[in-house]
Amino acid sequence: MGEGSDIISHAGAASTMKGVVLVGGVGTRLRPLTYVMPKCMLPVGAKPLLERTITWLKEYGIEEVVLCVAYLKNRIKEYFGDGDQLGVKISYAETDMPMGTGGQLKSAQELLGDQSFVTMNGDILTSLNLGKMIELHRRRKGIGTLALKKFEIKVPYGKISLGGRDRIMRFDEKPTLSFNANAGVYVLSPRIFEYIPAGRPVSLETETFPTALDRGEQLNAYYQDAYWADVGNLVDYEKADKEILTKYFAKTEARI
């Protein structure tokens, strides 16, 4: 998942940070594969997705990783153990049921101390330069920095723009809409926990971040034209599995 020389120049950027990977979800969109295996354990290019994620974090100097687990958590714990085989220290924040992205993160609060930390969803692949993202967060401060990606949607219908008295002013046939999307990688201040209530499922995306903004908190954006894939459904999973060994990661895999 790395970027060659950029990894070396930025490896120290996160040396005091911990990483948190949210891997407690059921993976409904990946059934039937996830009936017997958590989605983060599905093989991508012959390695479990989560192993690739942990290796990517380690490349940027993050050697303490907290895994927020729930669904089929023993499969994850049995495979990774304490992280020694990957050269990292792994701790587990456990819940008995999936608690949403915010609820799962809340379960790790006592393991993270009073320093900023990296958090990411457990169902993505990316070549994002995490070192540069961390540096930006440290410069701009704020309660968090969110990685963004450009996303485009082809509208299957003509778009009609109206003026006064329902007069048609413009007609665009099947336009493409482009916008900034949440890439699921964050650098967060521990103050974020003030916006995550305990004891119930919470969504970072629909509750925590909007509430923090409403209360005047500063959230920063980090954008980079990097590889990014959501492995949350069967079509995207199969696509990423092929890509990992070809166009985007052929050079990385050749060195292993």
Q: Which residues are catalytic?
A: 174
Instruction: State the Cα–Cα distance between residues 203 and 196, nearest whole angstrom.
Output: 9
Instruction: State the Cα–Cα distance between residues 143 and 80, nearest whole angstrom.
Output: 31
Angle at CA 148, nearest 5°, toward 146 and 153? 145
Cβ atoms of 125 and 227 closer than 8 Å: yes
Chain-centroid distance of CA 105 in Å reads 12
Can you tell me which residue has the tokens 């050269």? 87
Can you tell me which residue has the tokens 């060994």? 245
Q: In what order do the strands lie in the sheet with 64-69?
A: 89-94, 64-69, 19-23, 117-121, 176-188, 144-154, 219-223
Cis peptide before 190, with omega less than 30 degrees from 0?
A: no
Q: Measured in Å, how far apart are the chain's first and last C-alpha atoms? A: 12
Can you tell me which residue has the tokens 């958090």? 119
Nearby residues of 82 by Cβ (< 8 Å), 6 or more positions away: 89, 90
Q: Which two tokens stand for residue 157?
A: 């219908």
Q: Which two tokens stand for residue 129?
A: 């330069």
